Chain A
Amino acid sequence: MNEQKQDSIAGKILGKIKQEDIHPEASWKFVLRRALLWTGIGLAGAFAAISLSLVIFSLLSIDQGILGFAPKRLFSPTVFQALPFLWIGSLLAFVALAVFEYRETGHGYRHRPLFVVLTTFLIVFAIGALLHLLRIGERSDIALRHAIPQYDQAVRPRDTFWRHPEAGFATGTVANISAAGFLLRTPDGDGLDIRIGDHTIIRLPLKIEEGRAVRVIGDQDANGKIDAEEILPALPSQLRGGGSEQGFNDDQPPFPPHAIDPATGLSQ
């Protein structure tokens, strides 16, 4: 009895296959599916790498030396807000997508998830660093600013990083030098009193003089005066940003009425 029942299984299935005219799906459908999957992995990896190059560019736009110069302020809300969350999120999302898609491929399950994640990050970091060297991040940033107004708003905290004297970060040009310090003329046109003491570290290649573009790290007192801890040179890109409602605009001088000489940091 058992034998007869068992015997009928394959025959029953074969009968059903023939009766319902079931055929194997065409090969091209599976080839196409695999091709789409690998294309998806490639695109996710490429977007992750571009996101990384934008992260690098955005971080360097804040300040190349902030990590070394102001470690005690590293966890301040100003630094936190200036992080390129948009691109960090995009990087993580695309890496996750690439990993997920790889796991969906025929042999994706054969590797440990941690190994796949680390390998993906390694590849993305290598390509992302290369893209940064090719200035793809910077070009993408500029192109996005022009193409998408909302993007400009999204990255504003990065541009205004050096415009938070209350958090100890200020930028502008030197004006009215005195024995105690100098007046810092901010991009908004405000004046900030900067006090220089014995403890102040001046990291300028040239001496402080009027018209020089500088950044100041220090503590602001109740009267609005900043007790400078460090004074650093500023680049024109660090003086602009948020000067107008439109934010960065190549058609307008970023820091009117001055134009900064990048070589000397002096206004012309």
Chain B
Amino acid sequence: MNAIQGTKRGARSEKHGTRMTEPGYQEKTDAEIIELAKGNADFFGVLMERYETPLLRYIHRISSFDRDDAEDILQESFIKAYRNLNDFDHDSKFSSWMYRIVRNQTIDVARKRKIRVTVSIDEHDLSHILRATTDIEDETARKYDLTRINAAVRSLPETYREALILRFLEEKSYEEIMDILHLPKGTVATLISRGKKILHENLSKEGIER
């Protein structure tokens, strides 16, 4: 997962004719690049570069799709976003809008294939979410069977799990989660608070936390 963060942006940009990595473009805000992308698709590449890694990781976190399927979902999501670029509401963040599109696309594909959307959280994510939501230290967590901790996280109801992933793994603010899940801010706060509580209870049942 870490390896994909080092992207060779310069080479790809040259290949497509526009020097998207020139100083200036990378410094521009999403909103500025969106306006440029409306007239030139190459600029959309800058946005794709910015978000392909976190979005791909997000698809993996909220689903059990393999890499190829995740890339297909990401591709469809970016094309959908590009088609609807004029519908983007500058009141919210572009990243939130993209997360929303990716989430919906993932759910659509899962429905079409009649498979259940299940989380796949790796060891690193697991320890991150535990640190953020409980008092369990890494060392303590290591003492226990990680599969038991994983089971406790997996047994969270879907909506709570999704909110916790966005808050503690994707590190999104409440406003961003509101825009991604299309839920009122109060509901987001409730989901996160109750999700943490349920996680504590699940961990207690596993004998990991008192």
Residues of A bordering B, CB below 8 Å = 2-3, 5-18, 22-27, 29-30, 106-107, 109-112
Q: When A7-B8, A17-B79 are in contact, do A24 and B86 touch as well, CB less than 8 Å?
A: yes
Tell me the smallest distance from the CB of B159 to a CB of chain A, in Å: 14
Q: Are A24 and B45 in contact (CB under 8 A)?
A: no
Q: Are B82 and A17 in contact (CB under 8 A)?
A: yes
A-B contact pairs, 24 of them (CB 8 A): A3-B4, A3-B6, A5-B4, A6-B4, A7-B11, A8-B12, A9-B48, A13-B78, A13-B79, A14-B42, A15-B16, A17-B79, A17-B82, A22-B79, A22-B83, A23-B83, A24-B86, A25-B83, A25-B84, A25-B86, A30-B84, A30-B87, A109-B184, A112-B187
Tell me the smallest distance from the CB of A7 to a CB of chain B, in Å: 5
Q: When A9-B56, A14-B16, A24-B84 are in contact, do A3 and B3 touch as well, CB less than 8 Å?
A: yes
Q: Which residues of chain B (32-67) have a CB below 8 Å from chain A? A: 37-38, 41-42, 44-45, 48-49, 52-53, 56, 67
B15 in contact (CB, < 8 A): yes
Partner of B48, one of A10, A106, A107: A10
B197 in contact (CB, < 8 A): no
B75 in contact (CB, < 8 A): yes
Q: Are A110 and B75 in contact (CB under 8 A)?
A: no
Which chain B residues lie closer than 8 Å to A27 at the CB level? Answer: 86
Q: Are A9 and B15 in contact (CB under 8 A)?
A: no
B186 in contact (CB, < 8 A): yes
Which chain B residues lie closer than 8 Å to A109 at the CB level? Answer: 178, 182-184
Q: Are B86 and A6 in contact (CB under 8 A)?
A: no
Which chain A residues lie closer than 8 Å to B42 at the CB level? Answer: 14
Tell me the smallest distance from the CB of B18 to a CB of chain A, in Å: 9
B139 in contact (CB, < 8 A): no
Which 3 pairs of residues, A with B, have the shortest CB-CB distance? Answer: A10-B48, A109-B182, A24-B85
Which chain B residues lie closer than 8 Å to A111 at the CB level? Answer: 184
Tell me the smallest distance from the CB of A187 to a CB of chain B, in Å: 55
Q: Are B45 and A10 in contact (CB under 8 A)?
A: yes
Q: Are B44 and A17 in contact (CB under 8 A)?
A: yes
B91 in contact (CB, < 8 A): yes
Binary contact track B72-95/A, C-beta < 8 Å → 1, others 0: 001100110011111101010000
Residue of B nearest to A1 (CB): B3
B185 in contact (CB, < 8 A): yes
- In the bound complex, how far is the Cα of B178 from the Cα of A109, in angstroms? 8
- In the bound complex, how far is the Cα of B41 from the Cα of A22, in angstroms? 9
Which of B11, B49, B87, B187 has the largest number of chain A CB atoms within 10 A? Answer: B87
